[in-house]
Copies of this chain bind each other. A is one copy, B any other.
Amino acid sequence: MSLQQIYDVEARIISVSNVRGKVYKMAIDAPEIAGTAKPMQFVNVALGDSTDPLLRRPFSLSGIYPDRGIIEITWAVVGRGTEIMAGWQAGQSVKVLGPLGNGLDIANLCLDHGLILVAGGTGLAPLFPPASQALARKAEVNVFYGARSADDLLDTGDLVTGCRLHLATEDGSTGFEGLVTDLLEAHLGVQGTGDNGKPTVISCGPKPMLKQVKHICNRHGFPLLVSLEERMACGYGVCQGCAVPSAGRKSGYYRVCTDGPVFWADDIDLGECTR
- Interfacial residues, chain A to chain B (CB-CB below 8 A): 49-53, 80
B residues less than 8 Å from A52 (CB atoms):
50-52
**A104 CA to B80 CA, complexed, in Å:** 42
Measured CA separation A50–B49 after assembly (Å): 11
Q: Which residues of B contact A80 (CB under 8 A)?
A: 49
Set of chain B residues within 8 Å of A51, measured between Cβ atoms: 52
List the number of copies, as a whole number. Answer: 2
| A152–B195 alpha-carbon span in the complex (Å) | 81
Q: Could you list 6 examples of A-B contacts with CB < 8 Å?
A: A49-B80, A50-B50, A50-B52, A50-B53, A51-B52, A52-B52
**Which residues of B sit under 8 angstroms from A53, Cβ to Cβ?**
50
- Give the CA-CA distance A51 to B80 in the complex, in Å: 12
Residue of B nearest to A51 (CB): B52
Closest 6 CB pairs of A and B: A52-B52, A51-B52, A50-B52, A50-B50, A50-B53, A49-B80
CB-defined contacts of A50 to chain B, threshold 8 Å: 50, 52-53
Contacts of A49 in B (CB 8 A): 80
Least CB distance from A86 to B in Å reads: 14
A102 CB, nearest partner CB in chain B, Å:
34
A183 → B minimal CB distance (Å): 40
A53 vs B48: C-alpha distance when bound (angstroms): 13
Chain B residue nearest in CB terms to A54: B52
State the Cβ distance, A189 to closest chain B Cβ, in Å.
50
Identity of the chain B residue whose Cβ is nearest the Cβ of A47 in the assembled complex: B50
A161 to B214, CA, bound (A): 80
Distance of A158 Cα from B264 Cα, bound (Å): 70
Q: Chain B nearest CB: distance from A252 CB in Å? A: 36
Give the shortest distance, in Å, between A41 (CB) and chain B (any CB): 30
